[in-house]
Amino acid sequence: MVSALTVESIVGGRSTERLSRARRGNIRDLHGSSTARSRPRRGDLRHSPRPPASQSDRVGLRRLRGFRRAGRTAPRADLRRGAPARDLGGADHHRPAPSPGAAVARRSGTGPRHARADAGRPAHPRAQGDPFHDLLRASRRPGGDRGPARLLGGRAMSTAEAEVHVGREHRGDLRLDADVVIVGSGAGGAVVARLLAEAGQRVVMLEEGPHVPLSKYRQMRPSQHLRSLWRDGGMTVAVGVGDSPTINVTMGRCVGGSSMLTGGVCFRTPDRILDMWVRERGLADLGPAAMRPHFDAVEGAIHVEEVPADMRSRSTQLFDVGATKLGHPLKPLRRNTKGCRGCGRCNFGCPEGAKMSVDLSYLPQAVQDGAQIWSDCRVDGVMIEGGRAVGVTGRVLNGGGRPWRRNEGGKLEVRAARVVLAAGSYHTPLILMRSGVGRKNRHVGRHMTVHPAFRMFARFDEPVNGWRGALQSAYSDHFEEQGYTLVSLFIPPGVLAATMPGFGAELSEGAKAVPYISVMGGMIHDEGGGVVRRGPGREPIVTYRMDRKDRASIPELIRIMAKTYFAAGAKQVFPPILGQAPVDADGF
């Protein structure tokens, strides 16, 4: 969602005068050369003459070959620009890096080898985890991207996205210093990284999760995507208190954060909300006029565009039929996409690279301006000296073990003049609590809102095949004054089949109805709040209590959604209530 950016930050150390000395420079590759070029094709590398290597180059090459023969990872050089963030620990720091002449791209390009005749069609059902396709379990490698390029002498991945240092392949401890360290590589941290790197700051960004480039996640089934990029495999929850329901909270754990998992829907914060912030909260700098240029800038950076009507799935068309009959036709959604083909997999890694999540928009630009991104680096706390933040500590997750086995990996320490925590609403307060920051501030970890959402399934007599088209393309704000928003959506058929009601034979029978199912979603503008607390392990315990008015509105929202589907000709609806059987129009 494009909205006012909220990034919790702790400021310490030197002044920000360096920001006034903004400078821009060329891209520095892993070996320190100043270049700004697109990656050559494989054939170009094979047939282009290589510049003669100096004696130091030959020494570097021999060392690299020795590492490869020994089966070890070659030493990693930092991405440098001006005064770089320095690696202060480990033997790798003292080894010279090869010259640019030693760099050889092993793979190139992120596009398909051959143009597809059906390039305008949605992705094959098997790629969406269709349980009914007879090739579901067959092993087949798509004929598209063959993976990212790699440079000898470093394990940072050089792709069309961004160069990322892979922490799990770094040996031993990791110690760096920088002007700014940013914890979290999602939508908040990525924007900060780009702006500060552009202003000439030495930026180090740390991400707990792995780096999964487009060339890999575009080939993943939804189940693989859940295991690799989602925190807790998509099972993160806010536990309901009292009669409040437990709410599933989508959260990314990867380079790119939760921007990798969203449907790409971009709403601006409504003017009435911004006016309320100014009027009731005293936030004079966040009024509609002040925010408009910032919205424009972000929407330009991530390419926000309106979803055309011809990209609507049949599921969305049926939703619109019912809404129009009830007097509130749907409006087109705006999403951060470029070249969308309507394959319906926005939440599970766009195979076309059309969703402009921050791994394809903000992070590459930050890296071009000198920022370093490290994956597999978990931050446990903020270092405080003299009442000021001077860096962060944690673990490089390169040990291959579990926390209870005490071999998670090497020690992590990054010293910086400024610390920015952009680890999300669950983990930013957790890091603050562990650091003793704000111990006397009763607001740390409180006031978390989640806009509770519910899905409604409906079964039609006609085939719907709702996975053919944009995952989300239209919405209705007709009930906005009541606190509801209705949105179109669909999820890959394999995931949808697993969420059908019942167990065993009943679930199997329900899965057969997936081609005839339409799906819509309803969101509540919540007034309740959640609380983040330290748990016994690494993860926080989060509880959520819905406001009494919000709880009372749930039955009405379900009634509106069901009424809309029955107006469209649905035979049954599946209320989002645990244990509730499908209901027909007469029994609702």
Which pLDDT tens digit goes with each residue over 250-292?
A: 899 999 999 999 999 999 999 999 999 999 999 999 999 999 9
Percent of the chain with pLDDT strictly greater than 90: 52
Q: Is 51 exposed, middle or buried (0-12, 13-18, 19+ CB in 10 A)?
A: exposed
Phi then psi for residue 64, to 5 deg, are -65, -45
Residues 76, 165 contacting (CB under 8 angstroms): yes
Ranking 241-245, 319-323, 398-402, 462-466 by mean pLDDT, the lowest is 398-402
Name the residue among 24, 59, 374, 68 with its Cα closest to residue 204: 374
Rounded CA-CA distance 462/567 in Å is 15
By the 8 A CB rule, do 416 and 460 touch? no
| Pairwise CA distance, residues 292 & 562, whole Å | 37
For residue 215, count other CB atoms closer than 10 A to its CB.
21
- Domain-wise residue ranges, the chain: 263-356+453-525+547-574
Give me the half-sphere count of Cα atoms (radius 13 Å) on the Cβ side of residue 539. 11
In this predicted structure, what is the pLDDT of residue 57? 37
pLDDT above 60: residue 500: yes
pLDDT attached to residue 104? 28
Cα–Cα dist 252/186, whole Å: 8
User: How many whole angstroms separate alpha carbon 471 and alpha carbon 315?
Assistant: 10
Average pLDDT of the chain? 77
In terms of Cα–Cα distance, which of 471, 493, 470 is closest to 341?
A: 470
Q: Indicate the pLDDT class of residue 349, thresholds 50, 70 and 90.
A: confident
Residue range 170-202, pLDDT digits in tens: 999 999 999 999 999 999 999 999 999 999 999
Predicted confidence band at 401 (pLDDT cuts at 50, 70, 90)? low
Query: Which stretch of 267-271, 273-277, 479-483, 500-504 has the lowest confidence by average pLDDT?
Result: 500-504
Weakest-pLDDT range from 73-77, 226-230, 380-384, 443-447:
73-77
> Can you state the angle between helices 288-302 and 271-281, rounded to 10 degrees?
130
Say whether pTM exceeds 0.85.
no
Mean pLDDT of 294-309: 96
What's the distance, Cα to Cα, between the start and end of the chain in Å? 34
CATH class (in words) of the domain with range 263-356+453-525+547-574: alpha beta
Phi, psi angle pair for 226, to nearest 5°: -60, -45
